[in-house]
Amino acid sequence: MAPIEVIGAGLPRTGTLTQKLALEELGFTPCYHWVNVLADLDEVELWDGAMSGAAPWEEVFGDSRATVDWPGGYFYRELMDFYPRAKVLLSVRDPESWERSFRDTIWTMSHGDSLMPLLARARAEVDPRWRRYLALVDRMFWGPQGTFSAGHADPEMLIEQMLRHSEEVKRTVPAGRLLVWDVAEGWEPLCEFLEVPVPDGPLPHANDRGTFVQRVIGGALDSLESWRESNTSLVG
């Protein structure tokens, strides 16, 4: 079981899916990301345990050599202690751009009234694992333990807490162990920090928003269709 070598402490919507692809191209593969949880909702139980004080790191990460995005980034302090040789990557983004992206995806899934959140809530009615997943999102982002527990209704609230998180990471992580990185900076700062050669091609780009929305909507439609097929007599 390989130890984690890179801990992503940057918030979701700071180019984390691009980071995942970049780290894997550099050899830090596999890189754990929120998409892993969406692909295997059984892992929600492990992260719920972590929120309650457990430390299921080897079980949840397996052979991963890196982790970016939440849920891993939420626990960057604990992971720093558990993996003392790992380096920490704080991804950053223009605050206003980040707020719009975060509100259009994670916030909307929890609080909005467009197609995506409506389908997500409908899925929760027929899929207990998805219901637990939404509860984990609430707990990790909006509840008393949440990253945005101080408030999230207004853009200013989200931006203030985004900036506070970045400053906390900078204060917490020793300078020699931390890279503050915007994906727009490209390969060079990341490769220098990780002491690996710079690839010949450009930094990979992933559509975080498109992937997120597609997985939420697609997963909801699949679950609802499965429920319909299993309950034909009830809806026929």
Reading the chain (236 residues) residue by residue, the pLDDT tens digits are 679 999 999 999 999 999 999 999 999 999 999 999 988 999 999 999 999 999 999 999 999 999 999 999 999 999 999 999 999 999 999 999 999 999 988 888 888 888 888 888 988 899 999 999 999 999 999 999 999 998 888 999 999 999 999 999 999 999 999 999 999 999 999 999 999 999 999 999 876 667 777 777 777 777 778 777 877 655 54
Strand order in the sheet with 178-181: 31-32, 66-67, 6-8, 87-91, 178-181
- Cα distances (angstroms) measured from residue 9 to each of 19, 26, 39: 12, 19, 21
Q: Residue 87 has what pLDDT? A: 98
Q: Residue 128 has what pLDDT? A: 93
Q: Residue 24 has what pLDDT? A: 97
Q: Residue 218 has what pLDDT? A: 76
| Cα(18)–Cα(205) distance, integer angstroms | 5
Element (H, E) at 115: helix 115-126
Q: Are 15 and 183 spatial neighbours (Cβ–Cβ below 8 Å)?
A: yes
Long-range contacts of 112-115 (CB under 8 A, 24+ apart): 115/217
| pTM of this structure | 0.89
- Give the start-to-end residue ranges of the domains of the chain: 6-235
CATH topology (fold) of 6-235: Rossmann fold (3.40.50)
Q: Are 223 and 126 spatial neighbours (Cβ–Cβ below 8 Å)?
A: yes
Q: Residue 26 has what pLDDT? A: 97
Q: Residue 208 has what pLDDT? A: 65
Q: Residue 102 has what pLDDT? A: 92
